[in-house]
Amino acid sequence: MEMNDLVIVSVDDHVIEPPDMFRQHMPAHLLDKAPKLIRIREGDGWEFEGARIPNFGLNAVVGRPLDEYGFEPASYDDIRKGTWDIRARIDDMNANGILGSICFPTFPTFAGTLFLAAKDKALAKIVISAYNDWHVHGWCGQAPGRFIPLAILPLWDIQACVDEARRVARLGVRTISFLDNPTSKGLPSIHSGHWDPLWAVMEEEGMVISCHIGSGAAAPYPSGDAPIDAWIVNMPMYIANAATEWLFSPVFKKFPRLKIALSEGGIGWVPYWLERADFTYKHHRAWTHANFGDMKPSELFARNFITCFIDDQFGLKNTDALNADLITYECDYPHSDTLWPAAPEALWASIKHLPRETIDKITHGNAMREFRYDPFPILGRENCTVGALRARARHVDTRPVAGLGGVNPSNAEGRQVTAGEVAKLFAA
């Protein structure tokens, strides 16, 4: 086996919604009430119910030279076309040897929490359904066998969540993007039983909860004058705080076949954390009354939690202390941690020491099984490898493009960029 033989499925990428996304998917008489693209200062942004969402790029910097990775793109002119155009996206996936992808939303936020603030909730429900329809038909449907469809829900209304989950399941959606901690947005907790009807549908339909870092409780910005690097380092592992809640919640005891994916959470810290969870259970359960029946917390984790990584050599050296049957890969295109267009090179270097069977599980087998994604009958397995995909992408120019523009906290004099500067930029 060599790098070109890898088959790679990414369970965490992002789509920048294209300008015309709602045109075909909103009822015609409501189209003028759908979110629409407007000009904000020097850039493009969305407007919905009079509110403006300027930073639509969310650090969509793929394809720039590394010294321009701090830019916050302000318009479509500032970003690589593959971020929002499906043909260009497929080219970029091919150039990077990526067979399949789960694409999280951008302007609605990862889990669609933007619409929690909607004044007209009936309208917002229709917008969410239109969003999902676009995602299924206008994005994933344009490239059969290349995407695992994901949906967002009208989170303020549990019955509407259930109805939309059922509806999109019939459209082939395999996973719902859900907040890491709903109480962070004022919603009922995962311990309350409020969400049980949704979990019941998702378990029945075989849909995975995709829980992206920063979808609810983001890692706290450190001291304002701290290097921004500190925040970047901390982001993935911060999901441990929420993961522990899910682990000790009633959710997976009530719905033992339901799965949750910790999107962008990394894997190398997980064995420590599972040992800590088991220690806590053993040492404290007599007074806390935590109850895992005949299991340990680490065993429930191995049954219900899907992990993923971008680049995680330590984690891949310790697959014996994780559950190799639920480790998956992610590319994070087009965000700044992505290794596009050289993701296969980094992945191969960190995984080649493992047995082929384990490599196949981690690179694609686990994702295909858990998200019920079966591209081989559509595309032919021989066309799904890194080598085969890249052979079809010889026309794709992957060289870094400088000077695309956008808002930039970086500086010519080489001063350390601080967390406060970046926070201000995102708040602008």
Residues of span 357-376 touching a second copy by CB under 8 A: none
Helix 239-248 vs helix 270-288: crossing angle, to nearest 10: 40
Which residue has 């080598």 as its token pair?
387
- The reply on whether position 426 binds a second copy by CB under 8 A is no
- The reply on whether position 4 binds a second copy by CB under 8 A is no
- The reply on whether position 318 binds a second copy by CB under 8 A is yes
Phi-psi map region of 374: left, alpha, beta (phi>0 left; psi -120 to 50 alpha): beta
- The reply on whether position 233 binds a second copy by CB under 8 A is yes
- The reply on whether position 349 binds a second copy by CB under 8 A is no
- The reply on whether position 223 binds a second copy by CB under 8 A is yes
Q: Which of 12, 17, 44, 68 binds a second copy (CB under 8 A)?
A: 68
d(CA 263, CA 309): 8
Long-range contacts of 79-88 (CB under 8 A, 24+ apart): 79/16, 79/334, 79/404, 80/334, 80/401, 82/333, 82/334, 83/14, 83/15, 83/16, 83/333, 83/334, 84/15, 84/16, 84/17, 84/18, 85/18, 86/138, 86/139, 86/142, 86/143, 87/142
Candidates 3-11, 25-33, 365-373, 412-420 — which segment interacts with a second copy by CB under 8 A?
412-420
What sections of 8-99 are H helices per DSSP?
86-95
Please report the DSSP string for 311-342 in residue order. S-HHHHH-GGGS-GGGEEE---TTSTT--TTS
Nearest residue (CB) to a second copy, 336 versus 383 = 336
Nearest residue (CB) to a second copy, 146 versus 335 = 335
Q: How far is the CB of 171 from a second copy (least distance, A)?
A: 32
Nearest residue (CB) to a second copy, 113 versus 385 = 113
d(CA 60, CA 260): 26
d(CA 280, CA 288): 10
Q: How far is the CB of 70 from a second copy (least distance, A)?
A: 4
| List of residues 6+ apart from 279 with CB closer than 8 A | none
- The reply on whether position 73 binds a second copy by CB under 8 A is no
- The reply on whether position 148 binds a second copy by CB under 8 A is no
- The reply on whether position 78 binds a second copy by CB under 8 A is no
Nearest residue (CB) to a second copy, 42 versus 225 = 225
Q: How far is the CB of 191 from a second copy (least distance, A)?
A: 5
Nearest residue (CB) to a second copy, 11 versus 239 = 239
Nearest residue (CB) to a second copy, 142 versus 411 = 411
Q: Which of 18, 172, 197, 271 binds a second copy (CB under 8 A)?
A: 271
Sheet holding 43-48, edge to edge: 36-40, 43-48, 51-53
Q: Which of 99, 160, 213, 240 binds a second copy (CB under 8 A)?
A: 240
d(CA 16, CA 187): 26
- The reply on whether position 347 binds a second copy by CB under 8 A is no
Site for a second copy in 171-200 (CB under 8 A): 181, 183, 189-192
- Beta pairing, strands 36-40 & 43-48: antiparallel
Total of residues contacting a second copy (CB under 8 A):
78
Binding mask 27-66 for a second copy (x = CB under 8 A): --------------------------------------xx
Q: How far is the CB of 106 from a second copy (least distance, A)?
A: 21
